[in-house]
Amino acid sequence: MAAGTVAALALATAVPAAAAEPPTVDQDVAQLYQDVVDLYNGLPADALRDVDRLVESPIPRIGPRTQAAQDPIPGCTEGSLLTYANKLAAQLTPLENKAFDALSGLSQLYVQGVASDKTPQVFGTDGQYTPRATETIDKLRGFWDIESWNIQLVAWKGTDLGSQAKMAQTFSLGLAPAKVKNAAALATKVLYEIPALQGGRHPLLTLNAFSAPAGSLGGKRVALGDGLLDTVDLLGFDDVSVESVIGHEYGHQVDFAHDNHPRNESSEMGPDAYGGYFVAHAKGYAWNARTQQEVTYLDASIGDCYHSHGTPDQRKAAGAWGEKQATSQADPNRIIPSATMIEKFQREYPKLMPPATDQPAAAAVAAARG
């Protein structure tokens, strides 16, 4: 009798006490993660279709995966940028990792579906890259013969995660309306609750760039991450970063415009080649041989060791091939039509695959063609 009363009392007092207890950081992160998963699941069917990201982030990605699990290519060493990104990711605790995963996915949807270049875009953590980014997109719009006026260039900034208004717009893209306000408040809460996130300034949150086609969420656009620019600077490629990366991402727009969607490494190596052609060309940046070489090393730094984006050697070779097309033209001012450039690269591509131990057939074909 007495025991039952004690238990009943304990239960009666425990329930309101538990309800008043503020959620722990773990609970906040778990809830936010679920909100972002629900957001991704609620997006329109083609929202992320053919959206091409510069690197596979070491932060696991919410949403559909483009790359099946596979073994790395024997004898290949991944590029320096990927090594650096993996090192940063290895320093995170599982809780931090989950928060980065949720917030990185959320910030990508903000730049893809909410941000617009109708408001002035600020590139780089201090705006230091804005003039170069603006000049590059202007040049590219005039360089390639594709419809360009409606290709937006937007800044991918982790600090946007600190705006509840922006996050509410982002969650509205796919989350049930009744949940949007709380989810947006939680996103900004977690951003400041976990010191490793540095209020959105940790480079891993935005260590990427992407190109999105017409018909995807937000339409045609190129996004350039502050974390990517900071990291490329750290690796020593600052003087070519903005022009090379936007030149590459715009290269995807060239492929999109011609419905060229190869399902092999040429999907990434093609844009490396078109970007190389642009920076070396008299009507592009007309960069000298030394600077052109630096661009190919930047291409190599994002090469991976899977049959997906191209290895460092393959990407370097693709960029150098594009540069050579510009410097070896009889008329340096002539710009090859984009459709012709795609054809030329698709013919060249098998030769740019250096013999790999697991590809004897491909190597033999390349050798036979000379």
Residues that bind Zn ion (CB under 5 A): 52, 268
Least distance CB 318 / Zn ion (angstroms): 11
Least distance CB 231 / Zn ion (angstroms): 16
d(CA 44, CA 31): 22
d(CA 75, CA 46): 37
DSSP state of 221: E
- Token pair of 332 as six digits: 């340096």
State CA 221 to chain mean position distance: 12
Sequence-separated (6 or more) residues with CB below 8 Å from residue 57: 85, 104, 204, 207, 208
Least distance CB 252 / Zn ion (angstroms): 6
Q: Which is nearer to Zn ion, 52 or 265 (CB)?
A: 52
Interhelix angle 25-41/177-193, nearest 10 degrees: 140
**C-alpha angle 166/19/14, rounded to 5°?**
165
Q: Which is nearer to Zn ion, 174 or 322 (CB)?
A: 322
**Is residue 295 within 8 Å of residue 244, measured between CB atoms?**
yes
d(CA 12, CA 317): 71
**Is residue 301 within 8 Å of residue 237, measured between CB atoms?**
yes
Q: Which is nearer to Zn ion, 35 or 268 (CB)?
A: 268
Q: Which is nearer to Zn ion, 58 or 200 (CB)?
A: 58
Three state DSSP letters for 254-299: HHHHCCCCCCCCHHHHHHHHHHHHHHHCCCCCCCCHHHHHHHHHHH
Least distance CB 248 / Zn ion (angstroms): 6
Least distance CB 222 / Zn ion (angstroms): 10
Least distance CB 273 / Zn ion (angstroms): 12
Least distance CB 51 / Zn ion (angstroms): 10
**Is residue 246 within 8 Å of residue 156, measured between CB atoms?**
no
Q: Which is nearer to Zn ion, 29 or 246 (CB)?
A: 246
Q: Which is nearer to Zn ion, 101 or 268 (CB)?
A: 268
Least distance CB 91 / Zn ion (angstroms): 26
The DSSP code sequence of 326-360 is: HHT-SSTT----HHHHHHHHHHHGGGGS---TT-H
Least distance CB 211 / Zn ion (angstroms): 7
Q: Which is nearer to Zn ion, 33 or 237 (CB)?
A: 237
Q: Which is nearer to Zn ion, 261 or 334 (CB)?
A: 261
Residue 193: what residue type? E
Q: Which is nearer to Zn ion, 160 or 268 (CB)?
A: 268
d(CA 140, CA 143): 5
State CA 142 to chain mean position distance: 24
Q: Please provide the distance, in angstroms rounded to a whole number, between the alpha carbons at the two ends of the chain.
A: 94
Q: Which is nearer to Zn ion, 113 or 310 (CB)?
A: 310
Least distance CB 55 / Zn ion (angstroms): 9
- Token pair of 338 as six digits: 């984009």
